[in-house]
Structure 1
Amino acid sequence: MNLLHNQAIPVDHGGAVVDVVADIRPAGPDVVLLLHGLSCTKESFAGITDSPALAHLTTCAIDLPGHGRTAPLRSGAHTLEAYADVVSRVVVRLAPRRLHVVGHSLGGAVGLIAAQGATSLVTYTSVEGNLVGEDAGLVSRQIAELDLEDFAVNEFHRFVDSLRTAPEADLRAWGEWTATCAPAAVHESSRSLVEWSDSGKLLDWYRALPRAAYLYGALGDRTRHPVPLLDESTTVAIPESGHFPMVDNPAALYSALAAIIG
Structure 2
Amino acid sequence: MNLLHNQAIPVEHDGAVVDVVADIRPAGPDVVLLLHGLSATKESFADITASPALAHLTTCAIDLPGHGRTAPLPSGAHTLEAYAELVVRVVARLAPIRLHVVGHSLGGAVGLIAAQGAKNLVSYTSVEGNLVAEDAGLVSRQIADLELEDFAVNEFHRFVDSLKAAPEADLRAWGEWTATCSPTAVHESARSLVEWSDSGKLVDWYRAMPNTAYLYGSLGDRAEHLVPLLDESTTFAIPDSGHFPMVDNPRALYSALAAIIGH
Deviation of 1:14 (Å): 0.7
Deviation of 1:117 (Å): 2.7
For 1:136, the equivalent position in structure 2 comes to 136
TM-score w.r.t. structure 1 length?
0.99
- CA distance in 1 between counterparts of 2:155 and 2:119 reads 41
Deviation of 1:140 (Å): 0.2
Cα deviation per residue 1:40-99 (whole Å; 9 max; x = unaligned)?
A: 000000000000000000000000000000000000000000000000000000000000
SS in 2 for 1:224: helix
- CA distance in 2 between counterparts of 1:30 and 1:209 reads 20
SS in 1 for 2:225: coil
RMSD: 0.5
For 2:175, the equivalent position in structure 1 comes to 175
1:63 aligns with 2:63: yes
Which one-letter code corresponds to 2:46 in the other structure? A
- CA distance in 1 between counterparts of 2:14 and 2:100 reads 26
- CA distance in 2 between counterparts of 1:28 and 1:10 reads 22
Unaligned 5+ segments in structure 1 are: none
- CA distance in 1 between counterparts of 2:250 and 2:223 reads 20
- CA distance in 2 between counterparts of 1:255 and 1:13 reads 36
Which one-letter code corresponds to 2:83 in the other structure? Y
Q: How does 1:110-149 map to 2 (within 5 A)?
A: 110-149=110-149
Unaligned 5+ segments in structure 2 are: none
For 1:208, the equivalent position in structure 2 comes to 208
Deviation of 1:123 (Å): 0.3
- Percent sequence identity is 87
1:19 aligns with 2:19: yes
For 1:101, the equivalent position in structure 2 comes to 101
1:74 aligns with 2:36: no
- CA distance in 2 between counterparts of 1:3 and 1:14 reads 31
- CA distance in 1 between counterparts of 2:26 and 2:117 reads 24
Deviation of 1:129 (Å): 0.1
Which one-letter code corresponds to 1:143 in the other structure? I
For 2:229, the equivalent position in structure 1 comes to 229
Q: Alignment length, in residue pairs?
A: 262
- CA distance in 1 between counterparts of 2:119 and 2:184 reads 32
Which one-letter code corresponds to 1:124 in the other structure? Y
- CA distance in 1 between counterparts of 2:176 and 2:119 reads 35
Which one-letter code corresponds to 2:153 in the other structure? V
The list of structure 1 runs, each at least 4 consecutive aligned residues, that deviate by more than 6 angstroms after superposition, is none
SS in 2 for 1:11: strand
